[in-house]
Amino acid sequence: MWGKMDQIIFCDIDGCLVEGQYAPFNMAGLAQVRHLCAQLAAKDIQLCLATGRPKPYAEAMVQVLGLHTPYICESGAYVYHPKFAKPILRIKDRNKEKLAKLRTLLRAANYTIEPGFEGKLRITWEGVSDMKEAEIAKHREGLAAHYLAFGFKWSNSATAVDVLLKGYSKRNAALFLLERYGLKPENAYAIGDSESDRKMLEVVEVPMCPANATPAIQARCVTVAGAAGVLGVVELLNGVLGAVSEPETTA
């Protein structure tokens, strides 16, 4: 029912497959990724998306890439499979109530809460698109300290601050899928570009990133692509395909 998989590649979306909010898609690059995903799938190596985006966005990207594998949404709050209508991993309803209370407070403080999320909050504010990621991280630290009593986790990307429930993360969702498929870390790759991907990258044998990844993420990766964004992902997937396609040599 779940499909066959010998190896898995977890892949972030923003900063890896797309440049970010409102940026145009590199359709030629995504077409290359789709082609490579089909080639890898023929060898039982499957790409699984792992994103902070909500389900509708992730589902659309699954369709763009022609995937038939589980995908991680809302930074691990949900895991869906294209074959099933309901999530195969989801947060509890009482946690939604806690998020709703914080949402009200943040809106009163003039923050914008991005719509579409159920298992996390994504916060933006005027001018955030012009800030460097280090500046956003500093802002995130201030928010986390101010709302410490809620007991949430706080992370950030290059465009927003995310509020997450403890116990739910891309890392834990990736471990959940590894267990479901009976895979070990040595059977897993991951592609990420920012701090929100760090722990996911740490649980696989081969962490990888495109050239636009932060210096801290690049330092943790076994392979850093020469190209940025989706073309970097194309480069990395070609490398995986090349490695498994190399003929065995005999002494």
Residues (pLDDT < 70) of the chain are 1-2, 246-251
Q: Tokens 């504010």: give the residue.
A: 125
**What pLDDT, on the 0 to 100 scale, is given for residue 249?**
52
Contact 1, 140 (CB under 8 A): no
Classify 79 as helix, strand or coil. strand
> Rounded to two decimals, what is the model's pTM?
0.87
Q: Where are the domains of the chain?
A: 7-89+168-245, 93-164
Domain 7-89+168-245 fold: Rossmann fold (3.40.50)
Q: Where are the beta strands (DSSP E) in the chain?
A: 7-11, 45-49, 71-73, 78-80, 112-113, 120-124, 153-156, 161-164, 188-191, 206-209, 223-224
How far apart CA 223 and CA 245 sit, in angstroms, is 18
**What pLDDT, on the 0 to 100 scale, is given for residue 156?**
84
**What pLDDT, on the 0 to 100 scale, is given for residue 248?**
55
User: Phi then psi for 150, rounded to 5 degrees?
Assistant: -70, -25
**What pLDDT, on the 0 to 100 scale, is given for residue 129?**
84
**Residue 193: half-sphere exposure toward Cβ, Cα within 13 Å:** 28
**What pLDDT, on the 0 to 100 scale, is given for residue 251?**
45
- Give percent of the chain with pLDDT exceeding 90: 76
**What pLDDT, on the 0 to 100 scale, is given for residue 246?**
67
**What pLDDT, on the 0 to 100 scale, is given for residue 94?**
81
**What pLDDT, on the 0 to 100 scale, is given for residue 81?**
94
How does DSSP classify residue 196? G
**What pLDDT, on the 0 to 100 scale, is given for residue 181?**
94
**What pLDDT, on the 0 to 100 scale, is given for residue 46?**
97
